[in-house]
Amino acid sequence: MDTISATQQATLSAYGGQRVDATSSALARHQGPELDVEAAHEAAKDFEAVFLAQMLSHMWTDISTDGLFGGGHGEEMTRPLLIDEYAQAMVDAGGIGLADQVRAEMLRLQEGSSQ
């Protein structure tokens, strides 16, 4: 895990590591002076999924899991997984355009450092 930043580590611990770990793995596979465009695209999509999961998680902050049809403790435990899947589904459907911007910036910065 030494290839990820402190911010990614914080997000990794907050969300169980699924999306951030995938992002880190995509970037860690990069060997050499040029960034693989596909790896950059996957990393950017993973970043957008983490961002959307963070935004979506606030929608469920104050919703109780008890009551007649509530899932109780089990729902509390699986809710972050559901939110991650919602975020990934949003990204797979085109997202909000953040992945494209992040990918373009990653490639721009990589091109600048290789000159």
Residues 86-113: pLDDT tens digits? 999 999 999 999 999 999 999 888 887 6
Amino acid letter for position 109 = L
pTM, two decimal places = 0.64
Could you tell me if residue 84 is inside a domain?
yes
Query: Does residue 61 lie in a domain region?
Result: yes
Q: Is residue 30 part of a domain?
A: yes
Q: With H, G, I as helix, E, B as strand and everything else as coil, classify residue 33.
A: coil
Per-residue pLDDT, averaged over 73-94, amounts to: 92
Structure confidence by residue, pLDDT tens digits, 4-55: 444 444 444 544 554 444 445 545 555 554 558 888 899 999 999 999 999 9
Q: Is residue 90 included in any domain, yes or no?
A: yes
Give the count of beta carbons closer than 10 Å to the beta carbon of residue 102: 19
CB 23 within 8 A of CB 50: yes
Q: Cα–Cα distance between 88 and 71 in angstroms, integer? A: 23
How far apart (Å, rounded) are the C-alpha atoms in residues 82 and 52? 12
Q: Which domain holds residue 20?
A: 6-113
